[in-house]
Amino acid sequence: MILLKIIVFRGGETVRQLHRKHRWVARLLAADPGHVRLQKAGRATASLILSIFTTLLIMRFTGHSGDITPSIVSGMLGLMGIMVVMDDTKQKMKITTLLLGISAMFGISIGSMVAGNAYYIDIVMIISIFSSFYFSRFGSRYFSLFMIFFLTVYFSSVLKLSSAQLPWFYIGIWLGIAYAFLFNFFLFQDTAKNLRRSLHSFHIQSNLTLNLLIEAMLDKEFIPKRKVELERHIVKLREYALIVSGYIDADDVQKLWPGLLPNQLRLYVFDTGMLIETLTHSIYSLKKAEALELEDVKQLLISVTEAIRDAEVLAPSVKEQNIEPAEKAVQRLRLLIIDLFGRDEQPKGWIYLIRRIESIANHVIEGAVTIQHSLHFHQRGEVLSDVPEEESSEKESPKEEGLKPTTKKAYQALVAGILAIIAGQIISPTQPYWVLLTTFVVLLGTESIGRIYTKGYQRSLGTIIGAVIGFTFAKLLSGNFVLELIFLFVVVFLAFYLLTVSYTLMNVFITMLIAFMYDLLLGGITFTLIGARVLDTIAGAAIALGVSFFIFPKKTKDKVAESIGEFFGELTPFVTEYVRGFREDVNIKELSECAFLLDQKLQAVREEAQSFLQRPGSPIYTDMTRWMTMLAAINYYARHLVASAYRKGFEYPDELEKVFQEIEEKLKHNIDHVTKLIKGSEQECVLHDLDQEREQVERLAPSRKQSHRDLIHHLYYVWRINQSIVALGDELGAGKE
């Protein structure tokens, strides 16, 4: 028994350490943070399968097993009930899920009533598409309801259902809704597990990146391929950090780590990602400066990296040795910096890179110690009084002038719907509404012409590839109901699992799904039939793009400018609050959350500019690339401010009080005017550099020997942010003083 326990223990240790020894294991384990995609695709597929089989079983036991179409509708409701419910609270989601059943019943009934008159069907289809966009101004619920209404009308009209068939479809609808309700609100709803899993994926990705960084430090020569790989892993790590931040909830944090506050965990995640990003950029700069040729410097940096990698900050049992090695490693790094600055000769430029590493590493260690103290005090039944409490603040959304975006989109959908129906009658008189369905989907979630073009292209490409593969497999498996059904469920799972990874791949599997559905429902599939669906898809995408050019067009550049304005809208309070913190007692504990918001806003800019960034050689590509580079630099510098923001006790002469006010005012002025320049609401303006203020700070700030807080160092990224803003303004034609 003792031997068995030892083997199990060692086996557990092996499993836990496997991802550190084998890189491919780490990549696999961290591929889906928190198993978010797996859970959602799994819930949707399970709901689909159970809805279909339950309906089939009931129909079989009641002697109505000849018709499988009610089970298909049941499966569709079970699937869509998982995927289209997007309300902001669980209570609202429950109500919406139930309302989907009512909407589907109306859709099936009305579709059956108007099935014999093509004009009535056209009118109902167009009204439902218009309403889905127009009424979404009142909440996502209305979009979901009209979307289900549209799909069920489409399904009912295609099958030309009679009134005698409707009761079975009603039963199928509510069985699908029941399973969607069960999976959405009762099964697999442990959000604490999602937080733990996503954080585990984040840790694996962090360790993987740190291992690559250690290998880079040991490389005798600069290897560009390794740097590219590291940059790719940093981008992934940033995405994982955003996912973890989205799962951080006060109740779940207390359930997993009693005594810990959400803002402490959020800051820990942010700081860890920021440290790895800083380490990577600084190490490569040190490598170029040949600083790593000094063996003691290289070994010390490797020691710090390994100690941070191995630190168990959120270990269930609080022990000093969890963090102590990392503390000692950072302390040795600090002593090296003090020694280098204490020498008579002028410090080399690369010393400041080590200083940057020490600063952010020290901040991470301080945060880790705070977390351990919180856990320790809770285990002892005490409350840590100096831990800041959570505060929530809501921003007022600006009032919109003119037509709302939802109204504009509704009118676009109205015109596009009419054109799609006409095109459908010409291209596929027997199945005229596939063009309409594609037009509806392409318009969904897109505002600018560029996004509509990109989505239409991806959908068309995915449909072409999926048609070829789906036609081939459907032909091979035709007649084998069980295999086709298994393949259908696999394809559904893969489509929704890859939904957020690649829109093109998702459409490949959706088209394969349609191929199998046609074979099951129509008793066979022909190349002409599947080819018509490809042609319909391309036509629908083209109509959506054409309408976006003429009906309330939203130029891609205008949408990019709007997204950049939102990015700067988050940046302004972020930077000004940081600067104000040097002279006032300002609440800055939410800056880590603001940094995550900045990341999200920058990602939104990238997505809107995607169509421009895919056209190398064009003038707009050159401009957009420079803009994106400057915005990425601003975001990078802003992220570094978070570490400094949590340091208090800065000492400086009274003369600098006014300087800080001027810095704050000039930063706000520059950001506001650059935002106006980008949006085109201002043609000329003058931006301020901060050279004079920087000179005053560097002249009057206490030296490192006079103060334990280095004021110059903590303002470094403020200068860099302003320089980037002024450079962007210069690109846009602003003057400078």
> Per residue in 659-718, pLDDT tens?
888 888 889 999 998 888 888 776 778 888 888 888 887 777 666 554 455 677 778 888
Last residue of a domain, one of 157, 189, 221: 189
CA distance 41 to 437: 22
CA distance 111 to 88: 31
Of 133 and 190, the one with more pLDDT: 133
Query: What pLDDT, on the 0 to 100 scale, is given for residue 598?
Result: 84
Do 262 and 301 lie in one domain? The reply is yes
Is 105 inside a domain boundary?
yes
Interhelix angle 527-550/434-443, nearest 10 degrees: 40
Across 171-185, 235-249, 278-292, which has the greatest mean pLDDT? 171-185
Placement of tokens 């840790």 in the chain: 203
Of 99 and 712, the one with more pLDDT: 99
Q: Is the pLDDT of residue 9 over 60?
A: no
CA distance 385 to 358: 28
Query: What pLDDT, on the 0 to 100 scale, is given for residue 337?
Result: 75
CA distance 608 to 602: 10
Per-residue pLDDT band at 509 (split at 50, 70, 90): confident
Cα R_g (the chain), whole angstroms: 30
Q: How far is CA 59 from CA 62, 138, 170, in A?
A: 5, 39, 13
Tell me the two tokens of residue 194. Answer: 């999602």
Query: What pLDDT, on the 0 to 100 scale, is given for residue 29?
Result: 52
Query: What pLDDT, on the 0 to 100 scale, is given for residue 177?
Result: 94
- The answer to whether residues 613 and 717 touch, using CB atoms and an 8 Å cutoff, is no
Quick count: other Cβ atoms within 10 Å of Cβ 679? Answer: 13
Mean pLDDT of 541-555: 87
Do 346 and 445 lie in one domain? The reply is no
Per-residue pLDDT band at 285 (split at 50, 70, 90): confident
* CA-based nearest residue to 521, from 464, 489, 478: 478
**Over the range 98-137, which residues count as b (16 or more CB within 10 Å of their CB) and which as e?**
ebbbebbbebbbbbbbbbeeeeebbebbbbbbbbbbbbbe
Query: What pLDDT, on the 0 to 100 scale, is given for residue 171?
Result: 92
Amino acid 58 reads: I
Mean pLDDT of 365-393: 60
Is 2 inside a domain boundary?
no
- The answer to whether residues 661 and 670 touch, using CB atoms and an 8 Å cutoff, is no
Could you tell me where the beta strands, DSSP code E, fall in 171-232?
A: none
Query: What pLDDT, on the 0 to 100 scale, is given for residue 197?
Result: 80
Do 471 and 325 lie in one domain? The reply is no
- The answer to whether residues 438 and 536 touch, using CB atoms and an 8 Å cutoff, is yes
Query: What pLDDT, on the 0 to 100 scale, is given for residue 389?
Result: 44
Mean pLDDT of 298-302: 85
CA distance 638 to 238: 14
Count of the separate structural domains present in the chain: 4
Is 414 inside a domain boundary?
no
Tell me the two tokens of residue 507. Answer: 């459409």
CA distance 359 to 710: 10
Is 453 inside a domain boundary?
yes
Do 185 and 201 lie in one domain? The reply is no
Per-residue pLDDT band at 501 (split at 50, 70, 90): confident
Last residue of a domain, one of 552, 576, 607: 552
Do 627 and 524 lie in one domain? The reply is no
Do 629 and 488 lie in one domain? The reply is no
Do 249 and 301 lie in one domain? The reply is yes
Is 415 inside a domain boundary?
no
Q: What are phi and psi of 313, to 5 degrees?
A: -70, -40
End-to-end C-alpha distance for the chain, whole angstroms:
79
Query: What pLDDT, on the 0 to 100 scale, is given for residue 31?
Result: 59
Helices and strands counted in the chain (H then E): 28, 2
Do 105 and 63 lie in one domain? The reply is yes
Q: What is the DSSP letter of 84?
A: S
Per-residue pLDDT band at 387 (split at 50, 70, 90): very low
CA distance 454 to 477: 34
For residue 373, what is the domain's CATH number?
1.20.58
Query: What pLDDT, on the 0 to 100 scale, is given for residue 281?
Result: 83
Mean pLDDT of 108-129: 87
Do 694 and 547 lie in one domain? The reply is no
Give me the chain's average pLDDT, please. 79
Range of the domain at 459: 429-552
Do 606 and 699 lie in one domain? The reply is yes
Say how far residue 543 (Cα) sits from the centre of its chain. 29
- The answer to whether residues 142 and 135 touch, using CB atoms and an 8 Å cutoff, is yes
Do 278 and 318 lie in one domain? The reply is yes
Query: What pLDDT, on the 0 to 100 scale, is given for residue 322?
Result: 60
- The answer to whether residues 631 and 564 touch, using CB atoms and an 8 Å cutoff, is yes
Query: How large is the greatest C-alpha to C-alpha distance in the chain, in angstroms?
Result: 97
Q: How much of the chain is helix, strand and coil, in % rounded to 5?
A: 75, 0, 20
Is 398 inside a domain boundary?
no
Is 49 inside a domain boundary?
yes
Do 249 and 272 lie in one domain? The reply is yes
Last residue of a domain, one of 189, 219, 242: 189
Is 280 inside a domain boundary?
yes
- Count of all residues that appear for the chain in the document: 737
Q: Is the pLDDT of residue 6 over 50?
A: no
